[in-house]
């Protein structure tokens, strides 16, 4: 991918995107993660924009590294994972298709996959967060 082949180009693209996002309405950022930015509550859209800017406005090296590493073998023996793993994924996620979550759930012996019908990338987070956070306490 771009992160591995030309990390400086990806960094520049993220810098430009952050510059535009800092001057735009939160819907500019939300539209990257949701099919219908207008359906996302205003308070959530504001947080998404703030988080995006915190991640990319000043430094992008960490994100570029993460994007690059996501495509590499992590050397983890998934069969050896014995802790409960819960996954939530939306059927309408255009950023990360649900098939990847299904493959991960099949590879993890203790995985529980919840597929959220009609949820896009951000919609999955907004719908799953209350349950995910309540279970971790």
Q: What is the pTM of this model?
A: 0.80
Give pLDDT, residue 4: 77
Give pLDDT, residue 129: 93
CB within 8 Å of 13: residues ≥ 6 apart: 2
pLDDT beneath 70, residues of the chain: 135-137
Residue extents of the structural domains in the chain: 2-70, 78-135
Tell me the C-alpha distance between 84 and 108, whole Å.
9
DSSP line for 43-66 = HHHHHHHHHHHHHHSS--HHHHHH
Cβ 15 vs Cβ 61: under 8 Å: no
Paired tokens of 50? 């703030």
Give pLDDT, residue 72: 86
Give pLDDT, residue 33: 94
């Amino acid at each position: 991918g771009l992160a591995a082949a030309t990390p400086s180009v990806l960094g520049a693209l993220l810098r430009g995107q952050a510059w535009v996002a800092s001057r735009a309405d939160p819907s500019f950022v939300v539209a990257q993660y949701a099919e219908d930015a207008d359906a996302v509550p205003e308070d959530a859209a504001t947080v998404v924009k703030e988080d995006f800017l915190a991640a990319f406005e000043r430094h992008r090296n960490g994100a570029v590294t993460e994007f690059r590493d996501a495509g590499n073998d992590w050397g983890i023996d998934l069969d050896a994972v014995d802790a409960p793993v819960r996954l939530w994924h939306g059927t309408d996620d255009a950023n990360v298709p649900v098939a990847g979550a299904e493959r991960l759930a099949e590879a993890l012996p203790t995985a529980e996959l919840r597929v959220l019908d009609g949820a896009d990338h951000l919609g999955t987070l907004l719908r799953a967060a209350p349950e995910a956070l309540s279970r971790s306490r």
